[in-house]
Amino acid sequence: MIDDMTIEGMAECVKDIIVHETASLFFKSGEPHSVILIAHSMGGYIALALAQKHPELLNGLGLFHSTAYADNEEKKEGRKKTIQLLKEKGAAEFAKNSVPSLFGPVFKEQNPAAVEEQISYSCNFSAETLVKYQETMSQRKDRTEVLRTATVPVLFILGKYDAVVPLKDGMEQCSLADVNYIHVLENSGHVGMMEEPIETNTVLLNYLTNTCRYAPGNAYT
């Protein structure tokens, strides 16, 4: 938890980390340097807010199971129910109900232990923090304009069985960016880095290699 738990507030946190890490650790001049930012799910909402306010910090933007759309009314109602569940029964009950839906059917059937491990891990979050996350995501702005005006290559990684960011929504947004890379993980839900790690790593490496190659004057992206 931080003082400003809005999407914009968390984007400022990420900005401070980028400035600190690039200026103090990598570059003798002490100047902040632009980076490629790849962000998953809620992280993508934060990355889009960062791209909107501080585009000079980015040489590339990756949306991994994420969306520039704001929540529609149906999604907001779902978040209200989730908040009520968290307040009444806590993080453990929330994790037991929500985590399995993050995975595609093949992975759930073949890797029940991994799903249970993720449920156990998610129980470590406080209910208060999870409520704040749900409220923050429900209140976020539509940022499709960030994609339309992007001057950097944008990567979209989508899951065929993603129940959080439906494939249809992801495909609709892909054409908004002038330069885009699109990959659909055929056996994944919302956590392709766990469900299809080898393919995910290949996609990320290809994107990073191509984007670094054309980043102007940036040998350390």
Closest of 70, 129, 65 to residue 94, by C-alpha: 129
Residues 156 and 201 in one domain: yes
**Together in a domain, 105 and 145:** no
Q: How far does Cα 163 stand from its chain's mean position?
A: 14
Whether 51 maps to a domain, the answer reads: yes
Average pLDDT over residues 179-201: 96
Domain boundary residue, one of 119, 135, 151:
135
pLDDT in tens, 22-44: 876 655 555 557 889 999 999 99
Q: What is the pTM of this model?
A: 0.90
The pLDDT tens digits of the residues spanning 142-176 come to 999 999 999 999 999 999 999 999 999 999 999 89
Residue that is last in its domain, among 84, 109, 135 = 135
**Amino acid at the residue 221:** T
Cβ-proximal residues to 198 (8 Å cutoff; 6+ apart), any chain: none
Residue 219 covered by a domain: no
Same domain, 82 and 186: no
Last residue of a domain, one of 135, 159, 178: 135
**CA 130 and chain centroid, separation:** 16
Long-range contacts of 29-37 (CB under 8 A, 24+ apart): 32/57, 33/218, 33/220, 34/58, 34/59, 34/215, 34/218, 34/221, 35/59, 35/221, 36/60, 36/61, 36/62, 36/208, 36/211, 36/212, 36/221, 37/61, 37/62
- Residue holding tokens 């806590």? 90
Residue 89 has pLDDT above 50, yes or no: yes
Tell me: do 210 and 146 sit in the same domain.
yes
- The whole domain housing 78 covers 73-135
66 with 167, same domain: the answer is yes
pLDDT at position 212: 80
Tally of domains within the chain: 2
